[in-house]
Structures are given as structure tokens and as C-alpha cells.
């Protein structure tokens, strides 16, 4: 069975172009052998024939090895081409001179351009002036796109950028990677183009529904809260009725907060939260916020401390209203999920060797299980031990805080030890140039 397979393989390899030198050399060896037998003595004829046979064997196996290697490369190339052709994402590959090498069927569908029109041709920014190639050129050169949101660090690969187009209505996520050889030489680039128009359309529809529903709820809830407030002002109100109305008011306040959180999330995800940046003296700003929560902390039996930096003042360019939501959410969690007699310490310090401030909110509370810490900033997430302590809550506070911090050009993270406490920290750039120039759409798909 193995011999039959070997014979079959040899017949396949024998027909390959790489074996031509051997088939040219083989008849030559036969002719030389005949001449040697006729004109040379027996010994020298044998030596001559032997040398040519050895040379023929070397040529055969060398060509056979080359044929097998080239055949394997062709098979792998065909497999790769088949995979690229069947991918749902568009694939565009081009050399350092922006000459298009690969343009798969998905790319044809996304851009409305046939592969035969662009393959082998160099693309330049001027192509963006031609209606037919405008979107394709703006994808190859993202800086030309009407809206480009970079989601990776400059100069680092793979590069990820979200592109939005109005005509046609198109939302793309483009991932660019380098194509390099074994020696590290740059051969070109490959772009993986994901058409997210339908996904983002569904996301917008969901956000619009939540926005409409929340607005419809907020109007009657405000009226209910106002009615409770007025009822409590009645001096003739019986004690039992007063207690019932106070419970109703607390419930309406919680529900209003949930509705407002849902509205905030919808605005954030649609990129229209509406930031107003201004210069703020940051040390005094934080001190004022902590002064407002001290009374609430005392009700829970929690002490609040402020670890100030040595500098008398630090000027920051922030949206004080939106940033106060971050402090409100972090402090609310640190106080509410603390222990009686516990503490909350807010620390402000400069990041070493980087133009950022780091604000940390450290509590001595119940903490979070280690396997759940990474999920704290996800939408609607609440840790298991927290839900046992308090069933109410939306899991939106930290998600909103994360997006506000990111809009300021910072990062947010958490460290926690179960039953020992949690520290939530976030960074803010001290250089306004590091703040994103426009509001970014943050979504979880």
C-alpha cells in the first residue's frame, strides 16, 4: 500500500516543472553512456557512466525536493485563498507602495468595487476624489474619513480604527497588521474590514428605545416625587402616614436615579453625553466633593479621609459636572459597602514619569471576589457578594464612571481583597492635548 502511494506521489512530482532539468539530463546521460561504451575502455567507461549516474541521482532528488516544497507552498496558498474568499470580513492586502495585492469577495461587497478593478494597482489619497473609490481610499487612508475613531495606541500594531460614512451609511471597524518576512523586512500591510452597520443600527435602536422609555418614566416619577415631597410638608400628617410617604419617597428617588442612569448610558453610547471642559483647581475641587459626602458617610458610621498631594494647587482641564458623577459613584460604593467604623481614603498623586494624575478611592469594606474584579466596569454587572448585601442596584454606576474617565483621556482600574476592601483608581491627563478631541462612542457588542 505504501509502495503504491509512493509510486503515485512520484508520478505527480514527475509532472511538475521543477523536474524538467532531470528529464533533460536523463537522455543526455544515456547518450554519453552509449558513447563511453563504444569509444572508452571498460574501466573508464564504467567510471564515466558511474559519475553521470551519481550526478543524475543528485539532480533527481534535488529537483524532487524542490518540487515537493513548491507543491506544498501552492497547496497552502490555495487553502489560504479559499479561506480568504469565504471570510465574512473584507480583506485588503497591499505592498509598501500601496499597490493592492489581495481584495476578497467580502471587500467587493462592502466597497462595491470588483477585485479586477484594483488588484495590481497603486492607491493614492487622490482616489478619494473619485466617487466610486472614495470609501475604499478613505479606508486605506483613515485620516481622510469623515469620522475616524482610533482604538489602539499610535505606532502600535495591530492598528484598530472605527470609520463612519454618511453616503453610503456605513460603519466599519478596520484592523491593520504588518506583513513581514522571516528576516523582519516589511512586505506590506493587511486590513481586515468588519462591516458593523447592522450591529450599530441595532445598538442605536436599543438606545433609542431605552431613551424613549426612560423619558416616559421620568415625567410621572418626577410628579410622584413632588407629590410625596408636598405631602411631607403637611404638619397635620399622622405619624403612620408620614412613615409610609417617606418610604414611598425613598423608592421614587431610587427609581428616578435608575431612570437617569439609563438615560446617561444611552447618551454615552450614542456619543452625545455633552461634555463641557474647563480649567479647575483640582485639589480644592476634590475637597469640596468630599465635604458633601461626609454627612452621608457618618450616617453609615464611616470616616472619610483626604490624602492631598504636597503641591498647594493643581490646574486640570476637566468637565467638573461629569467628573463629579465619577466621584459620586465611587464614593457611594465605598461608603455603602463598607463596615461600621470603617474608612474611605481618597488620594490624589502625580503619576511618575507621565503627565497624569492618579486618583484612588480606597475603602475597608466587603471587597469583591478576585475572579470578578475585571467585570466591575461592565454594564449591569454586580458582584455576587454585593447582591446578597443589597438586592437593589443597576450595575451602571461604574460603567458610566469608566466612560467619563476615558472621555477625559484616562484609564480606570480596581484592586480588591475579599472581606478586606477595594481600591478603585483612575488617571487623568495633566496635559489637555492628551484629551480626545471629540466624544467617542463606547459600546459593548
> What pLDDT is attached to residue 211?
72
SS3 content of the chain, % helix, strand, coil (to 5): 55, 20, 25
> What pLDDT is attached to residue 58?
74
Rounded to whole angstroms, what are the CA distances from 17 to 57, 60, 70, 78, 418? 18, 13, 10, 18, 69
- Residue 383: partners with Cβ closer than 8 Å, 6 or more residues away: 368, 369, 372, 375, 376
Q: List, for residues 358-375, the tens digit of each pLDDT value.
A: 999 999 999 999 899 989
Angle between helices 2-14 and 42-86 (to 10 degrees): 90
Strand pairing category for 186-195 and 170-180: antiparallel
Higher pLDDT pick, 437 / 220: 220
pLDDT surpasses 90 at 83: no
**Looking at 136-150, 219-233, 344-358, which range is the least confident one?**
219-233
The position carrying cell 475579599 is 418
> What pLDDT is attached to residue 1?
47
3-state secondary structure 24-88: HHHHHHHHHHHHHHHHCCHHHHHHHHHHHHHHHHHHHHHHHHHHHHHHHHHHHHHHHHHHHHHCC
pLDDT mean over 191-217: 78
> What pLDDT is attached to residue 19?
66
Q: What is the mean pLDDT of the chain?
A: 84
How far is 291 from 150, CA to CA, in rounded Å?
38
Closest CA to 170 of 123, 128, 110: 110
Q: Is the Cβ–Cβ distance between 346 and 290 less than 8 Å?
A: yes
Output the CA torsion 427→431→432→437 (10° steps).
-70
Phi, psi angles (nearest 5°) of residue 427: -110, 150
* DSSP symbols for 374-438: GGTTSTT---HHHHHH-----S-HHHHHHHHHHHTT--EEEEEETTTEEEEEEEEESSGGGS-SS
| Residues facing residue 315 across a β-bridge | 281
pLDDT surpasses 70 at 38: no
- Residue 283: partners with Cβ closer than 8 Å, 6 or more residues away: 308, 309, 311, 312, 313, 314, 348
Rounded to whole angstroms, what are the CA distances from 219 to 40, 213, 333? 114, 11, 28
pLDDT band at 181 (very low <50, low <70, confident <90, very high): confident
How far is 210 from 22, CA to CA, in rounded Å?
75
pLDDT band at 445 (very low <50, low <70, confident <90, very high): very low
Strands (E) across 147-267 are located at: 147-150, 159-165, 170-180, 186-195
Nearest-5° angle of CA 6, CA 12, CA 14? 100
Count other C-beta atoms under 10 Å from residue 385's C-beta: 15
Q: What is residue 115's three-state secondary structure?
A: helix
Strands (E) across 223-309 are located at: 278-281, 303-307
> What pLDDT is attached to residue 263?
83
Amino acid at each position: 500500500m505504501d509502495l503504491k502511494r509512493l509510486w503515485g506521489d512520484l508520478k505527480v512530482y514527475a509532472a511538475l516543472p521543477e523536474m524538467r532539468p532531470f528529464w533533460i539530463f536523463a537522455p543526455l546521460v544515456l547518450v554519453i553512456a552509449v558513447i563511453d561504451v563504444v569509444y572508452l575502455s571498460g574501466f573508464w567507461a564504467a567510471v564515466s557512466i558511474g559519475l553521470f549516474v551519481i550526478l543524475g541521482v543528485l539532480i533527481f532528488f534535488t529537483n524532487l525536493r524542490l518540487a515537493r516544497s513548491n507543491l506544498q507552498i501552492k497547496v497552502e496558498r490555495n487553502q489560504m485563498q479559499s479561506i480568504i474568499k469565504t471570510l465574512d470580513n473584507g480583506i485588503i492586502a497591499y505592498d509598501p507602495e500601496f499597490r493592492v495585492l489581495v481584495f476578497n469577495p467580502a471587500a467587493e461587497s462592502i466597497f462595491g468595487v470588483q477585485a479586477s478593478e484594483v488588484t495590481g494597482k497603486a492607491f493614492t489619497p487622490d482616489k478619494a476624489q473619485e466617487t466610486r473609490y472614495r470609501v475604499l481610499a478613505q479606508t486605506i487612508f483613515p485620516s481622510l474619513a469623515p469620522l475616524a475613531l482610533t482604538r489602539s495606541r499610535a505606532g502600535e500594531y495591530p492598528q484598530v480604527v472605527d470609520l463612519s460614512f454618511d453616503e453610503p451609511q456605513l460603519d466599519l471597524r478596520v484592523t491593520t497588521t504588518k506583513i513581514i518576512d522571516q528576516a523582519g523586512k516589511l512586505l506590506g500591510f493587511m486590513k481586515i474590514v468588519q462591516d458593523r452597520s447592522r450591529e450599530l443600527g441595532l445598538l442605536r435602536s436599543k438606545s433609542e428605545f431605552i431613551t424613549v422609555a426612560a423619558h416616559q418614566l421620568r415625567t410621572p416619577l418626577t410628579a410622584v416625587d413632588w407629590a410625596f415631597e408636598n405631602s411631607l410638608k403637611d404638619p397635620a400628617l399622622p405619624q403612620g402616614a408620614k412613615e409610609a410617604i417617606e418610604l414611598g419617597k425613598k423608592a421614587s428617588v431610587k427609581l428616578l436615579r435608575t431612570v437617569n442612569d439609563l438615560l446617561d448610558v444611552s447618551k454615552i453610547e450614542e456619543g452625545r453625553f455633552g461634555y463641557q471642559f474647563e480649567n479647575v483647581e483640582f485639589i480644592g475641587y476634590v475637597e469640596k466633593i468630599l465635604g458633601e459626602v461626609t454627612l452621608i458617610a457618618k450616617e453609615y458610621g464611616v470616616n472619610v479621609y483626604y490624602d492631598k498631594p504636597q503641591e498647594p494647587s493643581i490646574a486640570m482641564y476637566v468637565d467638573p459636572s461629569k467628573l463629579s458623577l465619577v466621584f459620586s459613584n465611587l464614593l457611594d460604593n465605598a461608603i455603602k459597602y463598607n463596615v461600621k467604623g470603617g474608612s474611605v481614603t481618597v488620594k490624589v498623586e502625580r503619576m511618575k514619569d507621565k503627565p497624569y494624575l492618579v486618583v484612588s478611592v480606597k475603602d475597608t469594606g466587603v471587597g469583591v471576589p478576585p475572579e470578578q474584579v475585571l467585570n466591575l466596569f461592565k454594564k449591569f454587572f454586580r458582584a455576587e457578594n454585593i447582591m446578597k448585601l443589597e438586592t437593589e442596584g443597576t450595575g451602571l454606576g461604574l460603567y458610566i464612571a469608566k466612560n467619563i474617565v476615558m472621555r477625559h483621556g484616562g484609564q480606570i482600574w480596581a484592586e480588591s481583597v475579599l472581606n478586606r476592601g477595594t481600591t478603585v483608581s483612575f488617571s487623568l491627563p495633566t496635559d489637555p492635548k492628551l484629551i480626545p478631541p471629540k466624544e467617542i462612542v463606547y459600546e459593548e457588542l
